């Protein structure tokens, strides 16, 4: 059931982002974002690339390979290095230049997300696949990380455009266990965070307040849980 939930969440988040992008004027895609140095069209291309299955999807992992969980996916130490971040920026900017030769960033996101979700709907999401640079993962767990990508960056788009976030309940449902696993414990009830607030703080889209740091105690040092 959870496997199916992850794919539903990815489809709903992708549709919501597409709907927001269709409302934009061309000049809006040049707006700077809170993911510098990307402008909005570069951010949209990055989101699309993050959910692309490429040519042929993922191969099966070797039998009995150690499994990487959705939370483990974000525990790679290189993610926090300047080299990793700069490489991510450079690849996205180069890809954006190539995409814009023949289409818009918004239309490319539509095409990539549609193709990826269609292909995933035909897959056995319980299959153990080899994710390049990550290792063996259940395909469903990789899909959960893609929900995180579209939802967190969808929040970036909403912040850039000064819109109310549109994160779907289905996405919030499948992401919360990832954030809890990264923190290593449940968040204190006294924080009174709903899942939308947990998403914003866990991904660094909102900073912790002083009171929140006090309630979290030593766990506050783990935030943001990913970026």
Mean pLDDT in residue range 46-52 = 97
pLDDT at residue 55, rounded to an integer: 79
Confidence of residue 60 (pLDDT cuts 50, 70, 90): very high
Confidence of residue 77 (pLDDT cuts 50, 70, 90): confident
Express each pLDDT in 80-102 by its tens digit.
788 888 999 999 999 999 999 99
Confidence of residue 1 (pLDDT cuts 50, 70, 90): very low
Confidence of residue 210 (pLDDT cuts 50, 70, 90): very high
| E-state strands within 58-153 | 128-131, 135-138
Domain ranges of the chain: 2-222
Which pairing describes strands 135-138 and 128-131: parallel, antiparallel, or unpaired?
antiparallel
- Distance from C-alpha of 217 to C-alpha of 188, rounded to nearest angstrom: 10
To the nearest whole percent, how much of the chain has pLDDT over 90? 91
Which CATH number is correct for 2-222, 3.30.465.10, 1.10.520.10, 3.40.50.2300, 1.20.120.450?
Answer: 1.20.120.450
- Distance from C-alpha of 174 to C-alpha of 2, rounded to nearest angstrom: 8
pLDDT at residue 213, rounded to an integer: 97
pLDDT at residue 3, rounded to an integer: 77
- Burial of residue 174 (CB within 10 Å: 0-12, 13-18, 19+) is buried
């Amino acid at each position: 059931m959870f496997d199916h939930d992850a794919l539903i969440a990815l489809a709903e988040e992708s549709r919501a982002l597409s709907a927001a992008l269709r409302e934009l004027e061309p000049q809006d895609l040049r707006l700077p974002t809170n993911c510098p140095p990307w402008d909005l069209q570069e951010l949209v291309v990055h989101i699309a690339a993050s959910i692309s299955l490429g040519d042929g999807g993922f191969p099966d992992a070797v039998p009995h390979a150690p499994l990487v969980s959705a939370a483990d996916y974000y525990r790679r130490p290189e993610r926090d290095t300047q080299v990793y971040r700069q490489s991510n920026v450079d690849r996205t900017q180069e890809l954006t230049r190539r995409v814009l030769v023949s289409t818009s960033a918004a239309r490319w996101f539509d095409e990539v997300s549609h193709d990826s979700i269609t292909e995933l709907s035909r897959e056995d999401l319980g299959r153990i696949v080899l994710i390049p640079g990550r290792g063996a993962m259940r395909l469903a767990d990789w899909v959960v990380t893609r929900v995180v990508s579209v939802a967190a960056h969808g929040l970036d788009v909403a912040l850039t455009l000064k819109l109310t976030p549109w994160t779907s309940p289905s996405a919030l449902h499948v992401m919360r266990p990832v954030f809890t696993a990264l923190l290593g414990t449940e968040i204190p009830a006294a924080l009174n965070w709903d899942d939308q607030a947990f998403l914003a703080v866990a991904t660094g889209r909102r900073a912790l307040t002083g009171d929140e740091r006090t309630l979290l105690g030593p766990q506050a040092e783990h935030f943001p849980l990913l970026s």
